[in-house]
Structures are given as structure tokens and as C-alpha cells.
Amino acid sequence: MKTIGKVILWIFAVIGVLMLLLVFILANSLPSKPKVKIHDNTYLELSLGGLHYDYNEYENIFFIREAMSIGDMCRKIDAAMQDSRIKGIIIKPGMYMGGWALTKELHDKLIEFKESGKDLFAYIDFTYDKGYYLASTANEIYFNPSSTAGIVLSGIGIELSYYEGLLEKIGIDVTVLHSGKYKGTGEMFDRKTMSPELKEDLTRIIDGLYDTYISDLQTARGLSNETVSAVFEERDEYFLSGDQAHEYGLVDHLGDEQDFEALAVKDNPIVKFSLYEPHKRKFVYDKIAVLYAQGGITFAEAGVFERNYRKITKEKTINLLNRIEKMKSVKGLVLRVDSGGGSALVSDIILNKLEELNEKMPVVISMGSVAASGGYWISSLADYIFAQPNTITGSIGVVSMIPNWQQLREWANVNTFQIQRGKYANFFSLNYAPSEQDIAALKKDMDGVYLEFKDLVARGRNLPLTDVEEVAQGKIWTGIQALENGLIDELGGMDNAIAKAAELAEIDDYSVLVFPEKKTLMDILLNREISISAVTLLKLYGMTNRNPLTDNISQTMELIRDVQHEPVQLRLPYNLDIQ
């Protein structure tokens, strides 16, 4: 027996050594980012394309292909402003996608770069509204005159699908409950048309975002109201040609890429923005921590192969806050919230931890594109709240959904028998429609959470409860509207929030620590976040073969699963993908 035991130990030891060797070989065999020497008078080429998030937690991992985050771009632009080797930036907006408030953050950072006295050029082959919005910050815009090139300026809109008709046909029913008259979350499952309240809410939001967009374009390009009307309301063509764009004053020069480089860049070197490595900053003891809180708020931890690993989870968020609390050099926290909400309980647990941390250091909120419902709950008691003019926030209300397939089950002649002890033993059974008693019990709990939500807002924002009720009820607001209603303190972005945290902490010389730290492939392997299996390969396939339909189905299924696990939710109406 002893001999067999030794053999088994040796086998495990050899396997362990081989695994470590495999990890080492794999990590060193993958392509690394080349180091580029930056010469004097260098232009950085900022080529955009794909979906740009606020923050990317993983970097240099071949199976997680993500466009550079808005946060990383802004930090590099800050460094380029101070770098004497950098003469300017060339923006190539391409097929850029990103949330409107995050796009404004980058827009404003590019304007700051231009105002520092450095060159800012834009070259366009093809782009849409958000890409042109970023290009409009440039000193000069060059546009390819080819008939295959184009600028599409279509405005801002949203599209929602309602599924009650489909669900009726297949015998599925969803009972949707709201605390808050305007809380439209889930109504697409129990209505065939949009409710007047949600339509009013979304119309106000679209109007607010459009006003900010047009105002910024007019400021950047000096466009008249007549030109704006001609471009967005009166033109017959979908694609703006070179001659049209030039005539409207949307671009300054027509020419291809070679013409652009000859006229604007001349013989100066060009380096891709992603390859630019700024000078290392000097060590400073005092620090402001920036914690990115992105995605839905949930108990379930997000794996690296999830369709979107960005989730605000209880364990991960509390662990990060505990680490920040223990770091003596950290004098203040900026919580960057980009979330439409989720679990009411997790939201409250995170808020309680933030309150505890706030006793030791100032806590400032910087809102991203969305900080609503549960996202607003975790923000409500901070010392100071910043939002962009086009941030979507508010949605102070509660929702629950109870799906069932009783009609389909009966049609299919599936007989279900229940044996229970306890009034609510089979409360959320999918086999039966909820009773009036079940609905009344759940609604009572929801109303209690809604009252607590309003109390938090009243306490955190120093508002009478009557005023809170006026801006609550599930209503959603832009940043400008939220400021008018007392839900935030000031319009501004990440830089403003960091400066305010330092001011409240009474420090002048400080550096910034970003959480969560970026992870490489080696970190993932050593932490055993992945294992090679058929499931892993399928998830890899899914991550690289995404489309809007499968994403929509995936988000709907995730919502239903979350509600099954925790019925009381603080969520925005639908997934507000505003184009």
C-alpha cells in the first residue's frame, strides 16, 4: 500500500511540474505587444472601431478581443499632453461604438488635448454619429471623397420589442409587478404596446441626449440651426458624400489618406495609439482609488468566458472595497458606476460597505453612460456625485416578474402535482400562474423596498420625501435633468471626480490606483479561472460569433434567471441600447 501511495504522489508531482511548464511555455509563446521608440514630433494614430467599454479588466489575451477602453484612452491622452515627444493625435473614428456618456468623456478629453496647444487631426473614410461626434473635436477634419466613403448622421433613437403576443401563442405568461408608476422594466413581457408612462420617459431621455449631441456639434463645428436641420431632418441621401459634407461645413478638406498625411502630418513619424507607452510617473505615496463598477448587479460571479464578464457581484466588489480600506496610502475613493441595476439585496450590501468605508475616507461617484435603479442605489449616499450631461440615471423604483408555463403545460397534457407544507412552499413554481394572494404578498415586499429606496435618496441627497416621490416612481433622467432635480451634485467626468475626492481628502500631490487590476493570461491560468474542455471551446466560439439576436435572447434569459433567484429587482426598463 505504501508503494502504491508513493507512486500516486509521484504521478501528481510530475503532472504538476508539467502543468507549470505548459503554463510557462504558453505564456511566453504568445505574441506580446512590440516596444516602439517614440521620436520627437510623433503623431499618435487613434484608430477606433468596435465596442469601446469604460474599462477592460483583461489585456493581451488572444481569446478576449476587446477594443481599447475609454478609461485607458483618456489616461493615455493625459500622458500625451505632458509628453514633449508627442506633436499631436490623429483620430480615425471608423465604426466606433460606445455609450453616449462614455463617448462624451472621450470627446471632452480630446478637446482638452487640443486646447493644450497640440495638433488634433481627424481622417474619415466611413463613420456614424458617434464616430463623427469624436472627429468633430479636431482642428481639421479630412474626408475621403470616394463614392464608397461616407458619413452617416442619423440622430439618436431607440427600438424596443414587445413579446406578449408571442408568449400568448406558446402558452407562457409573465406577471410583472412594479413599485413606481413609471417603472417600465419587464413590461415588454406582459404588454403588446409601450405604456404611456414609459413612452413619456424615453421621449424625455432621447430629447435630452439629442440636445446635448447637437449642442456639442454646433460648438465644435460652428454649425447653424439651419445646417443642423438640413443635415438631420431634410436631406434625401442616407450617406453624406464628400461634397455634401464639405458644403455643410462638416469637414474641412477632401482627400484620401495619402493626401491627408502629406498635407497634415508631413514627414513626422506616426505611431499607433495602442503601442504608445507613456513615461512612468514618479512615485507618490498618497493615492486616490478608482474602482470600476460595470454591468448588472448580481450574486452570481461572472466567468472570463461569459458573453460579458462585466458584472457588479457581491463577492468581487466587497473584496475590492476591503482591499482599498486596508491600504493606508489610499485617501479617497472614486466609484465609477456604469450599471442599469439588478439585485436589490446585492445593491444594499454594497451600499452598506461603502457607508462603512466612507467613515474612513471620502467617497465620490462618477457616473458612466448608465447609473440607474440599483446603480443609483449604490451611489445614493456618496459625499458627491458627478454625471455627464447625457448619463442615464434615476429609475428609482422596484420590479418583479413571475413567469409561468401553465397554459403550455396544460395544452401539452403535462400534469403537475404539488405536495407542500407552508403557505409559500411552491411560490415561484413555473408550472402554475401565481395566485392573488401570492401577488399581494410579493407586492407588499416590493413596496417596502421602494420606500427604503426613497428614504436613502432623501437622506443622501438631503431632500424631503415629497420631493423624492416626484423624481422617483421609476422615472429615468439624463445627467442634466438629474442635476435640476437634485439627484446629482455636478456635471462632469472621471477627472472631476478624482479632483473632488482629493479635495475632500485634503491632499494636493497624489497618484491614482485603478481597480480591479488588469489580468493577463498568466493570471487567469494561475488562478484557475479556466480549464480546457468542450464547454470552454463552445464559449470561445460564442464570444467570437455574436450577433444582436443572440445577445438579446441571452440578456432576456439572464433577466428571467435573476428574477427566479431573487424576485425583487432594481433594474432599468429593458436594455437601453440608445443609438
Per-residue pLDDT of 243-271, as tens digits, reads: 999 999 999 999 999 999 999 999 999 99
pLDDT classification of 571: cutoffs 50, 70, 90: confident
Is the pLDDT assigned to residue 32 strictly greater than 60? no
| Of 32-36, 301-305, 322-326, 520-524, minimum mean pLDDT range | 301-305
* Type of residue numbered 507: I
At 29, list the grid cell.
Answer: 509563446
Is the pLDDT assigned to residue 10 strictly greater than 90? no
C-alpha to C-alpha distances, 472 to 101, 204, 397, 475, nearest whole angstrom: 22, 15, 7, 6
| Of 29-43, 108-122, 348-362, minimum mean pLDDT range | 29-43
Mean pLDDT of the 529-537 span: 44
| CA gap 376, 386 in Å, rounded | 12
Question: At residue 72, what are phi and psi to the nearest 5 degrees?
Answer: -65, -40
C-alpha to C-alpha distances, 138 to 107, 134, 252, nearest whole angstrom: 10, 8, 10
Question: What whole-number percentage of the chain has pLDDT above 70?
Answer: 83
C-alpha to C-alpha distances, 488 to 123, 506, 532, nearest whole angstrom: 37, 22, 46
- What pLDDT does 305 receive? 52
- What pLDDT does 142 receive? 97
- What pLDDT does 299 receive? 83
Is the pLDDT assigned to residue 4 strictly greater than 80? no
Beta bridge partners of 178: 399
Mean pLDDT of the 416-432 span: 86
| Of 25-29, 86-90, 278-282, 490-494, minimum mean pLDDT range | 25-29
Within 8 A by CB and 6+ apart from 369, the residues are 54, 98, 99, 100, 101, 102, 338, 388, 390, 391, 392
Beta bridge partners of 287: 330, 511
C-alpha to C-alpha distances, 335 to 311, 353, 363, 427, nearest whole angstrom: 14, 12, 7, 37
Is the pLDDT assigned to residue 438 strictly greater than 60? yes
Give 4's DSSP letter. H
- What pLDDT does 552 receive? 56
- What pLDDT does 192 receive? 93
- What pLDDT does 36 receive? 81
| CA gap 283, 443 in Å, rounded | 54
Which residue did the predictor score with more confidence, 461 or 552?
A: 461
- Could you say which architecture CATH assigns to the domain 42-154+238-275? Alpha-Beta Complex (3.90)
Mean pLDDT of the 185-191 span: 89
Mean pLDDT of the 211-222 span: 95
pTM of the model: 0.88
Is the pLDDT assigned to residue 542 strictly greater than 60? no
Topology agreement, domain 42-154+238-275 and domain 287-415+426-571: yes
Locus of grid cell 465644435 = 220
List the chain domain ranges: 42-154+238-275, 287-415+426-571
Which residue did the predictor score with more confidence, 265 or 309?
A: 265
Mean pLDDT of the 419-425 span: 86
Fold of 287-415+426-571: 2-enoyl-CoA Hydratase; Chain A, domain 1 (3.90.226)
- What pLDDT does 561 receive? 66
| Of 250-259, 277-286, 485-494, 500-509, minimum mean pLDDT range | 277-286
Question: What whole-number percentage of the chain has pLDDT above 90?
Answer: 66
Q: Average per-residue pLDDT in the chain?
A: 87
For 76-131, what is each residue's pLDDT tens digit?
999 999 999 999 999 999 999 999 999 999 999 999 999 999 999 999 999 999 99
For 45-61, what is each residue's pLDDT tens digit?
999 998 999 998 887 66
Max mean pLDDT among 222-226, 297-301, 422-426 falls in 222-226
Locus of grid cell 432623501 = 458
- What pLDDT does 423 receive? 83
